[in-house]
Amino acid sequence: MMAKTGTAVPWKQLLLDALDSNAHLKHSSFFQLATVGYNGRPSNRTLIFRGFQGDTDKIQIHTDSTSRKIDELKHCPFAEICWYFTESWEQFRIKGRIDIVDGSNPDPVNLQEREKSWFARSPRSRLLYLDPGHPLVDEESPKEVSIDPSAGPVDAFCLLVHDPEQVDYLNLKSNQRLTFTSRHKVNGDKWWTSEKINP
């Protein structure tokens, strides 16, 4: 079976259905992202799904420029998402390449997406990017910080765009496992093929 990006990408619909059926669980939007460390060993953390980029199959993630994952992704841009839905017993393992979109990104479309992502966050959550990764000096009297709600993204705010290349889907309730693999045509169009395999 084949599907072109921009039309019905089969694994994306499975993921959207899983998100919908597990929406009443707050943790359903959390997934793990594994990158490759400088020493060649895996480095893993939990992040929040921030939606797809437009009508594509690209997954958006927000992070700060001081996080270790930024340096790891600059060293090796390949990463894997592992997402398990506890209510529906579904697992998605999504391999792909991540693009880092910070304020220095030369692509105006990417910068526009970054700004859109920034304003999609609550003003309170934007405060997290004002002084990320620095030691807490005095817990007794935290300094008052504020941010102009109409101001654009601060320097520390990064949009990560995960471009999936392969998806492994496992449904433990139905004992079904599918792998989805992307292909590119000469004109750059992206196509997905799928295959049923033993769980």
Identity (one letter) of the amino acid at 187? Answer: N
60-80 in b/e form (b: 16+ CB < 10 A) is bbbbbbebebbebbeeebebb
Is 2-130+151-197 a CATH 2.30.110.10 domain? Answer: yes
Task: Categorize the per-residue pLDDT at 128 as very low, low, confident or very high, splitting at 50, 70 and 90.
Answer: confident
Report how far residue 176's alpha carbon sits from residue 198's, in angstroms, rounded to the nearest whole number.
8
Number of Cβ within a 10 Å radius of residue 59: 25
For residue 65, is pLDDT > 60? Answer: yes
Q: What pLDDT score does 124 carry?
A: 86
Q: pTM for this one?
A: 0.87
